[in-house]
Amino acid sequence: MHASPAEARFPVAPERPTPLLGGGSSVPDLSGNEIHLWLCPLPVPDDDLRRTVEALPDPAERARAARLVFPVDRRRQIHGRGLLRLVLGNYLGRPPASLAFVANDYGKPELCHTEGLYFNFSRCHDLALIGVTRGLPVGVDIERIRPLPDRDALIAHCLSSVERDWLASRPAQQQERDFFRLWAGKEAVLKSLGTGLATAPESVSVSLRKGAIGNATVAGAVARAGGRWTLFSACPDADHVIAAAIPALTLISRAQVRCFQVGGASLAASGGMLRQPTKTQEGSC
């Protein structure tokens, strides 16, 4: 029987804000054993930050946004791309508008000149999640907890037998949330792998330990050597789950996850600042 994981929440402290505006380096140092996660509200609520990110997307990104039907979705698309450029440009020390992206054979976006920096992006309605690492590819996912009319079919066809047994053992009132924790973990692993849902979700088996750090395995020919991933799973609020995954290779002996928040009502007094958490989540790879 799998141990029941505690609901992991990361606190976002109000002290020590760091501006995420302008051309200077304003992101924390990123070491090779860290995953940095950025949670961003969409559209961006802060006026200064909004003007900054709206100026950054290139013509192709603007054209993709323009094809969306509703104005709010177009704004969210533009703001999401602008925030991604802003965050990555700060890590690389390069102008955000100058960054160029390519997609792999499965559509996963990557930087043309990575300089050892990896990223992944996920958006769920009015929130975006950006993951940044050095040396190892990262996958992230954010999901809104909500009723799904086809959840039983998804459980039957997309969860491994180990996951189905674990989910069935969970208290009824927590199963909806725990389903999305499993699903977000799967998506994060598949995005780290680079294939996304082109790889069968049931080939991924996610284990949620007590606390935020768990692990995952991928079966089949697409799996890396050993087929193991380190997985971070958390609930930033009562309505969402997030997950981040990196390959569990010997290059990283201990994975540290640092979570940051951009904008939002809780940060309005500081003008859309970046805030650091009160503590870092740690786990072994």
User: CATH number of the domain that 148 lies in?
Assistant: 3.90.470.20
In this predicted structure, the answer to whether residue 57 has a pLDDT above a threshold of 90 is yes
Which residues constitute the domain of residue 99?
34-279
Give the lowest-confidence range in 42-46, 69-73, 277-281: 277-281
117/110 Cα distance (integer angstroms): 10
Token pair 């070491």 is found at 31
Q: What is the pLDDT of residue 277?
A: 34
Average pLDDT, the chain: 79
b/e map of 242-252 (b: 16 or more CB within 10 Å)?
bbbbbbbbeeb
Instruction: With a cut of 90, say whether residue 251 has pLDDT above it.
Output: no
Answer with the residue of higher pLDDT: 197 or 81: 81
| In-domain check, residue 193 | yes
Q: Residue 248: which of 192, 171, 196, 173 has the closest Cα?
A: 192
Question: In the numeric block, which tokens belong to residue 10?
Answer: 């990361």
Place 20 in a pLDDT band, splitting at 50, 70 and 90. Answer: low
In a domain, 10, yes or no: no
Residue given tokens 């704004």 in the structure block: 75
Residues 6+ apart with CB under 8 A from 270: 14, 17
**Mean pLDDT of all residues in 144-156:** 91
Task: State phi, psi for 89 to the nearest 5 degrees.
Answer: -60, -40
Q: Is 50 exceeded by the pLDDT of residue 199?
A: yes
What confidence score (pLDDT) does residue 263 get?
58
Contact at 8 Å (CB) between 55 and 66? Answer: no
In angstroms, the CA 103 to CA 274 distance is: 29
Tell me, rounded to whole angstroms, the distance of Cα 104 from its chain centroid: 18
Confidence at residue 27, expressed as pLDDT on a 0 to 100 scale: 81
Q: Is 21 domain-assigned? A: no
Q: Does residue 6 sit within a domain? A: no
pLDDT tier at 169, thresholds 50, 70, 90: very high
Report pTM.
Answer: 0.83
Q: What is the CA radius of gyration of the chain?
A: 18
- Is residue 284 assigned to a domain? no
- Specify if 29 maps to a domain: no
Q: Is residue 209 part of a domain?
A: yes
Q: What percent of the chain has pLDDT over 90?
A: 43
Distance CA 275, CA 277 (A): 7
Q: Is 241 inside any structural domain?
A: yes
Q: Indicate the number of domains in the chain.
A: 1
**Structure token pair of residue 34:** 């860290």
Q: Is 100 helix (H, G, I), strand (E, B) or coil?
A: coil
pLDDT surpasses 50 at 13: no
Phi, psi of 188 (to 5 degrees): -60, -45
